């Protein structure tokens, strides 16, 4: 490895001295303290605490506290790489990875940067209270998808008033039982963010028995949400690397199989009934669906017994294997097609393109 790095640096130096144009451009490499390595990036700018890099599917900001070292190429090489990527880009706006998981909404002429709303408490609220909260969240961006909105009966109709909901600490630490409702309501990650049409979830509830580990909300957090209404295109970015790092001491299952569940009831609620993950246009991530065709989105909210709380609680259902995905390495991208009616084939132009970037 060391010899290879030296040879690569010598090759770059030879190119610079001789003025030759290389057929293959070398990019920068980030070495993280958790032993992950991010290759083929271009360092765009730095501050005292952060570094902004282009990774080919967008630009992201990392804390320097996460980084062990940076192996750098030349400015000339990076400019060539950025020019090549710009020619192929989907005009995705630059994105900033925020440690809080919340972002403020901003806009320009063609692109809307949506706020990611924090989780809230839903326990024991009435069905109408839940409906009114949902209306308010959709109304944050009027006309983005629908001109008039009412919560879909197919998605929200089976919610029961006065029931508890899985809490995020119940999901991540306490597991089923009377403490399953501890913490803010985990389903509010999606109820409070209707424009994350397809969300990412680890898909398991855990009972953590090691008392040295404190209760903590450890889950994949969305960091940015970008919409281009006229292009019928949107993208959410999830901080998966950070999730895996936080999950290590808790020994979560996805650390080994690197699988996640897609939650798509927001898409269903806003009129999109069918979903297909285009593996050919995705990068470093694939759908594990065996159906081959577009999937009818089945997700809904109802009262179930999975939480183990006396009398049951409101939760999302069903658990559907066709909506599982697997990541081979980071960064990764899922290219998701959404339709309002069943398409004749997966190649039929979609009504909405939804991208999930995982970094």
Q: Where are the domains of the chain?
A: 2-88, 106-358
**Domain spanning 2-88: CATH 2.60.120.330:** no
The confidence score (pLDDT) of residue 92 equals 42
pLDDT of 6 > 90? The answer is no
**Residues in the chain, total:** 359
The rounded distance, in Å, linking the Cα atoms of 87 and 79 is: 12
The rounded distance, in Å, linking the Cα atoms of 49 and 62 is: 9
What's the mean pLDDT in 122-140? 98
pLDDT of 10 > 60? The answer is no
Ramachandran bin of 13, using left for φ above 0, alpha for ψ from -120 to 50, beta for the remaining angles: alpha
Q: Can you say whether the dihedral through the CA atoms of 352, 353, 358, 359 is positive or negative? A: negative
β pairing state of 59-63 and 233-238: unpaired
Q: pLDDT per residue over 233-264, tens digit each?
A: 999 999 999 999 999 999 998 889 999 999 99
In the chain, what is the greatest distance between 2 CA atoms, to the nearest angstrom? Answer: 76
- Distant-in-sequence, close-in-space partners of 46: CB < 8 Å, separation ≥ 6: 52, 64
pLDDT of 86 > 70? The answer is no
pLDDT of 328 > 70? The answer is yes
Greater pLDDT, 41 or 333: 333
Q: pLDDT per residue over 279-313, tens digit each?
A: 999 999 999 999 989 999 999 999 999 999 999 99
The confidence score (pLDDT) of residue 17 equals 36
pLDDT of 34 > 60? The answer is yes
Closest C-alpha to 103, from 95, 114, 111, 87: 114
Q: How far apart are the first and last CA of the chain?
A: 25
Instruction: Work out the percent of the chain whose per-residue pLDDT is above 70.
Output: 84
> Among all chains, which residue has been given the structure tokens 């998701």?
336
How many CB atoms sit inside 10 A of residue 277's CB? Answer: 26
The rounded distance, in Å, linking the Cα atoms of 260 and 264 is: 13
pLDDT of 166 > 50? The answer is yes
User: C-alpha angle 31/220/178, rounded to 5°?
Assistant: 140
Structure-block tokens of residue 320: 């559907």
Structure-block tokens of residue 44: 């765009």
Q: pLDDT per residue over 181-201, tens digit each?
A: 999 999 999 999 999 999 999
């Amino acid at each position: 490895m060391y010899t290879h790095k030296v040879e690569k640096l010598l090759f770059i130096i030879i190119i610079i001295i001789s003025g030759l144009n290389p057929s293959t451009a070398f990019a920068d490499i980030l070495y993280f303290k958790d032993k992950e390595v991010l290759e083929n990036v271009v360092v765009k700018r730095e501050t005292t605490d952060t570094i902004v890099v282009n990774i080919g599917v967008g630009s992201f900001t990392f804390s320097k506290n996460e980084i062990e070292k940076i192996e750098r190429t030349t400015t000339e090489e990076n400019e060539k790489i950025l020019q090549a990527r710009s020619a192929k880009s989907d005009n995705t706006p630059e994105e900033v990875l925020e440690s809080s998981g919340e972002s403020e909404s901003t806009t320009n002429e063609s692109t809307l940067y949506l706020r990611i709303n924090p989780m809230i408490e839903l326990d024991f609220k009435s069905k109408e209270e839940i409906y009114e909260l949902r209306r308010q969240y959709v109304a944050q961006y009027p006309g983005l998808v629908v001109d008039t909105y009412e919560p879909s009966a197919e998605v929200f109709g089976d919610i029961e008033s006065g029931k508890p909901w899985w809490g995020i600490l119940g999901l991540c630490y306490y597991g089923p039982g009377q403490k399953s409702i501890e913490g803010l309501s985990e389903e509010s990650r999606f109820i409070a963010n209707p424009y994350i049409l397809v969300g990412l979830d680890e898909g398991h509830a855990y009972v953590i028995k090691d008392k040295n580990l404190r209760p903590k909300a450890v889950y994949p957090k969305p960091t940015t949400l970008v919409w281009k209404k006229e292009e019928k295109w949107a993208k959410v970015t999830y901080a998966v690397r950070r999730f895996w790092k936080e999950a290590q001491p808790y020994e979560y299952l996805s650390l080994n199989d690197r699988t996640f569940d897609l939650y798509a009831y927001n898409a269903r609620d806003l009129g999109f009934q069918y979903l297909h993950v285009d593996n050919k246009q995705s990068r470093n991530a694939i759908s594990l669906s065996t159906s081959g065709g577009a999937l009818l989105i089945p997700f809904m909210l109802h009262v179930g017994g999975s939480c183990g709380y006396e009398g049951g609680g409101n939760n999302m259902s069903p658990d559907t294997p066709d909506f599982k995905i697997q990541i081979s390495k980071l960064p990764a991208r899922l290219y998701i097609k959404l339709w309002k009616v069943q398409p004749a084939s997966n190649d039929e132009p979609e009504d909405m393109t939804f991208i999930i970037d995982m970094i």
